[in-house]
Structure 1
Amino acid sequence: MTEPGNTVPCGLGPALEAIGTGAYVADEQGCIVAVNSAAERLLGRPAAGLLGQDAHDLLHRGPHGEPLPTTQCGMRQAFHAGTPAHGDGDYFAGGDGAPMPVSWTITPYDLGEGRAGTLVVFHPPRPAPGAEEPPERPAATLTDFERLALLAETTTRLTSSLETEEILNRLTSLVLPRLADWVVIDLITERDEVWRTAVVQADGDTLTHQEDLEGPMPPVPEESPMPLSRALRGVASALAGPETYQGPPDAGIAVEQRRLFEATGIHSAAIAPMRGTREVLGALTLGRAKQQGRFTTADLPLIEDIARRAALALDNARLFQRQRAVAETMQNHLLPQMPPVPGLQMTVRYLPAPDASQVGGDWYDAFNLPDGATALAVGDVLGHDLEAAAGMAQLRNILRAYAWSQQEPPSRIVERLDEAVTSITDVAMATLVLCRLVRTDDDRWELSWTNAGHPPPLLVTRDGVAEYLTDGHGILLGTGLRAPRPDAAVVLPPGCTLVFYTDGLIEAPGRTLDEGLERLRQHAAALAHRLLPSFTDQLLRRTEPPGLDDVALLALRVPSWPAGSRS
């Protein structure tokens, strides 16, 4: 069961406050969904007067305060194009209605759950030209506004992903070719080994990985004064060039650095440590080969800031990946192997929700009973996280114990389970189908079951007739109500297939539950002739679960035999 999510990503407020100038985020329709205090102050408008409003209608104005048609609004056009853009000489309407000149930068922002948004950063324009400008500034030193815009874009783009490779790709596209024409990323693995993860060259807007320069690196010397070694120890950022590594190398890592400068033609580089919350994760190197101008010490604070924000994003990704690895291990132990049952074929599949912890409250089970029957179960505990998985394990183990020890119909077993749920488990609510499958004296298979608020099992004959087993339906577990639960029974047609599943297979945004059930029925009927493993895989492929919830699926097929004979 999918729990309701937030409409705005967690942590967006603090990220906007860190920008240091006016900033807000708009959704796909252009309505403001988040705003920082600097924007409230500059606009003279409280957040309550901004949130939920169409940003163009509320703020965008002409030089005399007149409403601005969308066809004449550069920001609106860039918003619809979905590309980063910058503008000067435009006007926002202040709280008093007077036009306020602004400079602005916008960039796409991922709101999560497949929703696209836009980040807008703005401030009053700089003094008119005439004020004296410094004759020269370092090539990578941007204006304060450009620096803030770059850092804001870095924060929003990097923190919206939990995949290491995606974070590194986004980091590369942020700094190339804006600050350099080469980027080198060295990461320290969880085994304290250094891996040159990315060496990327920018040729215009084309980015090319130099895979021959990537790979494992020698260990970092403890006392080495060389720039990369110091950065990987988290000591300091530094400037470097080919001459830095021309002397006798003090370690193998210096040899690799000399090779890097020779192969790339970099004439100037800035190297900054990538510090996470608990440890140094690696080093970021920006290099110039074809670009003119050398990096200076004035460039280092910006590059350090970018490296620090990248490290925080990578740190979050590592934590997520560790949790996912733990969850996958837990999942492998929680989901059982199917028991051998002479004459029956069984196959199972489990698809975790990709944005969750790779394990959740969806489960299946099958086990043999002392009297020779086979118990089958599929269920769903509220949530798709580790807590739901722990509750699922409790529920399944209690169900196994009751089913094994009590020679009773499925309805009575589930009644006992429901009585225990609120008292001795951490499960709030759950759905469940429990079945008992027995082989009769005439070599037929009889199924009896009870359904506690779960989607109904699907019966597919070998001729492609598919229907849901809707009898035996009662309320879900955990409500506190003690209503009697019904049983239902059916003799299974020879060669038929039974499909037990959880609601992640049939629920999708924009589709009703009835539509999902009909879609599943049609595809299952069309696949009736397939071998059971192929039937199961193709059913998952064709129904295209949206991935918003886990999917547990158990498919079972009884034997066929020619008319008038027995298997």
Structure 2
Amino acid sequence: MGTVGQGLAPDFPEAVLRDLGAGVFTVDMAGRITYANPCAERLLGRPLERMLGQDAHGLLHRRPDGGPIPRERCAMLAPLYGNRAAEEGSEEHFRRADGTVLPIIWAATPLLLSGRQAGMVVYFDDFSQHRGYADRMAAHTAALEALTARLNLLAEVSAVLMSTLETSARVRKLLRLLVPAMGDWAVVDLARKGPPGLERAVRSSTRPHRARWLERPLPPLPEKTRAAVTRVMNSDDPVRLTAKELLENPDAPLAGTHRKLFERLGGHSATVVSLRARRQSYGMLTVARAGESEPHTDAEIRLFLDIGRRLALALDNSRLYDEQRNVAETMQRQLLAPLPQVGRLRMAARYLPAQSAMEIGGDWYDAFLLSGGVLAVVIGDVVGHDLEAASHMAEVRNMLRALAWDHEEPPSVIMRRVDEAVTNTSDAPMATLVFARIEGREGGPWQLRWANAGHPPPLLVTHEGEARFLTAGHGPLIGMSATLNLGLNWPDAVEDLPPESVLLLYTDGLVESRTRPIDLGMAKLGHHASVLARRMAHRTVDEFCDELLTRIAPSGDDTALLALRLPEAGAGAPGDHRPPPPPQAPYSPAAPNRAAPGSRRQDARVRDTTRDPRQEG
């Protein structure tokens, strides 16, 4: 067995072999067993004394079924026949004393004594233990991969559900994730808001044309089916369906909604989960399997339940978003009164809500006749972007109207009164606004007298296209001077309004965005207003506003715009027989046409042009 190392006990090699956790035996040059360690005895169920002198190949080596193996095909004997290299493998079997076979992992190497080959050493172990470990590792790896795939799918689902507020787009993107990854076809049935019923979206990996034909509102359901659908939609438990059950039993609870799906799209089984969040039921999600695939596992069904809850939460958020937006928009539009028409002056206004529900609220415009017959115009913006800001805007607007009507005073004095009233009687935060009087008699000349409380300056555009911002009259924001006891004031400013010029009052949403500073936005506004004043001199002021908004395309914040066009010199004066400007179609702010989300061009043309048809000249 070799020379004992210096300092080691003589029985050291024997102790190592005895305590080794694997079987070892040696054979001589004829293949007879000369030694076996205790682990080999235990694995083979054979005591050493019954193995000594036995032919190792004949005694032990077997096929998996226990049959003998020809000696010339024995790979383990190779080191005995001139091949001095070690051999190893994991596809062999040893026969135990009880007749059973033991799958082994093994290695064999020549045994050298005094420099000459004296036989062979065979090392072996129970391969079933190694194989079991490998199988367990493979199972764990597969489970980890499946979990990772589910987590990735959930991440993709969450991204899809957050990518848009439009329900049909969300549903279609979700179905593309589920098919074919989790099933051969999938369906989302959403409860309609109007007459009771279901709107259906379908996706199939094998029969896409048939799936498109199934995408339509479902006809009225029988009472039994309607009750079954209601139970599913109001339950947190999944429902397993089989094609056999539905096709053989037309009276099955969900046959009225799912039988046609199996008939047209095929498949053998499906899982149905509810779309339910915050005690609101929105519909059902169905995922089906076809062909040789297995029915959904419990883990997959738990995944569908999670996806159903996520979709329901997204739909519920859309509902809350729409409710808040509708309340804010309705409130704001009710405050946007019709514009009066004074003689041959012509006005138009536009209001574009913000793209986000949380950014609705503070912007407003106003125009009204004062007690002395002078026209007052206002543009303003209360700090904040929510429903509360819209409420505060109503307070400031009404205070300004009342004070301006009751006191025939310069705009600077009205500003001071509004500032004190807001500070002492209201919870409204600070606000910016321009309050102006259009002074003059019929036929002209006309003057603009105004004060500005921290608001973007008015823009005056002449008939020839000269555009100029009116930067005079600036003072502090409303709610700042009185609150801080600053003693600030608002100077009055006066400007002549040339005949046929256009005066524009606007909020910062028109000229400022997250990607563009306000100075660049104001330069863009001045340029386009100048071009349009020349090109559209004989068009209505409504058309002027529409084209201006189309060119600027404001986005992000809400936007208010008030435009006033002066008549020709002498128009409407005693003895003037020229016809008045053409009447323009009235619009109602209470029931605007709703454009598709993100369609700012269409919004600019249909929203909140307010005119009083009774005042048309």
Give the TM-score taking structure 2 as reference length.
Answer: 0.65
CA distance in 2, matches of 1:224, 1:373: 64
State the 1:163 CA deviation: 3.4
**What is the aligned-residue identity percentage?**
43
Q: Which moved more, 1:347-356 or 1:553-562?
A: 553-562
How big is each residue's C-alpha offset from its partner over 1:254-283, in whole Å with a ceiling of 9 and x where there is no partner?
Answer: 334222222222332211111212132211
CA distance in 2, matches of 1:436, 1:283: 59
The residue number in structure 2 matching 1:213 is 215
State the 1:248 CA deviation: 5.3
Aligned counterpart for 2:491 among listed residues 486, 490, 498: 486
Does structure 2 conserve the Cα–Cα contact (< 8 Å) formed by 1:284 and 1:307?
A: yes
Counterparts of 1:337-348 in structure 2 under 5 Å? 337-348=338-349
The residue number in structure 2 matching 1:452 is 453
CA distance in 2, matches of 1:211, 1:254: 18
Does structure 2 conserve the Cα–Cα contact (< 8 Å) formed by 1:230 and 1:236?
A: no
The residue number in structure 2 matching 1:263 is 264
How big is each residue's C-alpha offset from its partner over 1:260-311, in whole Å with a ceiling of 9 and x where there is no partner?
Answer: 2222223322111112121322110012346744334553212112111211
State the 1:217 CA deviation: 4.7
The residue number in structure 2 matching 1:497 is 502
Secondary structure of the 2:316 match is: helix
Counterparts of 1:511-530 in structure 2 under 5 Å? 511-528=516-533, 529-530=535-536
Counterparts of 1:347-386 in structure 2 under 5 Å? 347-357=348-358, 359-386=360-387
State the 1:489 CA deviation: 1.4
Does structure 2 conserve the Cα–Cα contact (< 8 Å) formed by 1:241 and 1:261?
A: no
How big is each residue's C-alpha offset from its partner over 1:306-345, in whole Å with a ceiling of 9 and x where there is no partner?
Answer: 1112112211121111212222221221222111222011
How big is each residue's C-alpha offset from its partner over 1:46-104, in whole Å with a ceiling of 9 and x where there is no partner?
Answer: xxxxxxxxxxxxxxxxxxxxxxxxxxxxxxxxxxxxxxxxxxxxxxxxxxxxxxxxxxx
Counterparts of 1:292-311 in structure 2 under 5 Å? 292-311=293-312
Q: 1:192 to 1:454 in 2, by over 3 A?
A: same
Q: 1:172 to 1:339 in 2, by over 3 A?
A: same
Secondary structure of the 1:456 match is: coil
The residue number in structure 1 matching 2:543 is 534
How big is each residue's C-alpha offset from its partner over 1:420-444, in whole Å with a ceiling of 9 and x where there is no partner?
Answer: 1122122211101001112336532
Secondary structure of the 2:460 match is: strand
1:168 equivalent in alignment to 2:171: yes
Q: 1:366 to 1:142 in 2, by over 3 A?
A: same
Equivalent residue letter for 1:213: E
- Structure 1: runs of 5+ lacking an equivalent: 1-126
CA distance in 1, matches of 2:225, 2:551: 59
Equivalent residue letter for 1:146: A
Task: Say which structure is richer in helix.
Answer: 2
CA distance in 2, matches of 1:171, 1:475: 51
1:543 equivalent in alignment to 2:552: yes
Q: 1:147 to 1:441 in 2, by over 3 A?
A: closer
How big is each residue's C-alpha offset from its partner over 1:441-468, in whole Å with a ceiling of 9 and x where there is no partner?
Answer: 6532221111111101001111111101
The residue number in structure 1 matching 2:316 is 315
Q: 1:251 to 1:345 in 2, by over 3 A?
A: farther
Q: Which moved more, 1:482-491 or 1:556-565?
A: 556-565
Q: Which has the larger radius of gyration?
A: 2
The residue number in structure 2 matching 1:86 is none
The residue number in structure 2 matching 1:184 is 187
Does structure 1 conserve the Cα–Cα contact (< 8 Å) formed by 2:443 and 2:570?
A: no
Q: 1:177 to 1:351 in 2, by over 3 A?
A: same
Does structure 2 conserve the Cα–Cα contact (< 8 Å) formed by 1:217 and 1:253?
A: no
Does structure 2 conserve the Cα–Cα contact (< 8 Å) formed by 1:181 and 1:291?
A: no
Does structure 1 conserve the Cα–Cα contact (< 8 Å) formed by 2:225 and 2:256?
A: no
Q: 1:341 to 1:359 in 2, by over 3 A?
A: farther
Equivalent residue letter for 2:329: E
Does structure 1 conserve the Cα–Cα contact (< 8 Å) formed by 2:187 and 2:287?
A: yes
Counting matched residue pairs gives 435
Q: 1:236 to 1:334 in 2, by over 3 A?
A: same
Secondary structure of the 1:477 match is: coil
CA distance in 2, matches of 1:128, 1:465: 86
Give the TM-score taking structure 1 as reference length.
Answer: 0.70
The residue number in structure 1 matching 2:198 is 195
1:153 equivalent in alignment to 2:156: yes
- Structure 2: runs of 5+ lacking an equivalent: 1-131, 579-617
CA distance in 2, matches of 1:412, 1:225: 68
Q: 1:216 to 1:370 in 2, by over 3 A?
A: farther
Q: 1:161 to 1:220 in 2, by over 3 A?
A: farther
Secondary structure of the 1:534 match is: helix
Secondary structure of the 2:357 match is: coil
State the 1:378 CA deviation: 0.1
Equivalent residue letter for 1:149: N
